[in-house]
A = this chain, B = another copy of it.
């Protein structure tokens, strides 16, 4: 490839497309399944039900402290599989490139995807590449879809939470969201603000190996943040959730940046965190397991499922009052992931 930028021709399905696939995608993402470049990947089936998920990523900027759009695309789809108790098997990679995108930037993203896949042990087995004219896209949009398998006996769903269950959060609130927002606002903070983008399937596998039946619900609080995910769990399980304010972990720099921008950590996107609803009497054990992993080292119990008003999330304040935590509304935080 001698061109330095993406041309419309790279999306026409002819020789330029084949060059891009051979010289760039296969170079970094290669594996026997992808290599054959057929219409579909064919992979061995594995015992268990199938989990299937999809996410598109349009984050702006595409590179940010702690990660980039490529890492996000790999981790995010792995995490949505893990949240149903599935073992991730493989991913697809759909690219929509804007004419004029620098090939260097594209290569950096592909290298980053390859690293994330390798580190997670989950390959890209098929892909697609389209190019839109300059001004009809924005550098690069990525779709990753994923397949996983759910072992017999595992049944994770937001419907399954029961009164008395504990709600555990795997780490601090809002790191990803505030990193993108400050970056876009051109604000630089003292301290280390960076995205928490990370794959959670190993943490989930450890939990499920130890207590396959005690884990009721898991959810990754991405767009809409922990507040919105908790509302979804409360609604689906027809229970209430009570949170203790002082138990919500937020990094000092994140808190400071939130105050500066008038944002609330509970509504900020996370890309390497999960909410785990676990049978009450197993909560201490679950917490211990999570804390034994690098991705869950800062896990805390943040609340309890209760027989309160179905769908309501309340937060008990230190002074003895309580307030309702509603889902995100009317505060557009565009292109956070």
Give A residues with C-beta under 8 Å from B. 7-9, 11-18, 36-45, 47-58, 60, 79-81, 83-84, 86, 90, 92-96, 125-128, 130-133, 135-138, 141, 143, 145-150, 157-159, 218-220, 222-224, 228, 232, 236, 267, 269, 327-336
Determine if B54 and A127 form an interchain contact, defined as CB atoms under 8 angstroms apart.
Answer: yes
Name the B residues within 8 Å of A220 (CB-CB). Answer: 39
CA A56 to CA B128, docked complex, whole Å: 7
Instruction: Evaluate whether A15 and B329 lie within 8 angstroms (CB atoms) in the complex, with A43-B52, A131-B334 already known.
Output: yes
Determine if A335 and B132 form an interchain contact, defined as CB atoms under 8 angstroms apart.
Answer: yes
Identify A40's interface contact among B16, B84, B132, CB under 8 A.
B84
Determine if A13 and B328 form an interchain contact, defined as CB atoms under 8 angstroms apart.
Answer: yes
CB distance from A236 to the nearest CB of B (A): 8
Determine if A50 and B42 form an interchain contact, defined as CB atoms under 8 angstroms apart.
Answer: yes
CB distance from A59 to the nearest CB of B (A): 9
Leading 5 A-B pairs by shortest Cβ distance: A13-B223, A14-B328, A13-B224, A145-B145, A54-B92
Residue among A38, A83, A222, A228 having the largest count of chain B Cβ atoms under 10 Å? A38
CA A253 to CA B258, docked complex, whole Å: 62
CB distance from A2 to the nearest CB of B (A): 14
Determine if A54 and B128 form an interchain contact, defined as CB atoms under 8 angstroms apart.
Answer: yes
CB distance from A141 to the nearest CB of B (A): 6
Instruction: Evaluate whether A331 and B14 lie within 8 angstroms (CB atoms) in the complex, with A41-B53, A220-B39 already known.
Output: yes
CA A242 to CA B1, docked complex, whole Å: 31
Name the B residues within 8 Å of A224 (CB-CB). Answer: 12-14, 17
Determine if B48 and A45 form an interchain contact, defined as CB atoms under 8 angstroms apart.
Answer: yes
Instruction: Evaluate whether A39 and B84 lie within 8 angstroms (CB atoms) in the complex, with A131-B334, A138-B132 already known.
Output: yes
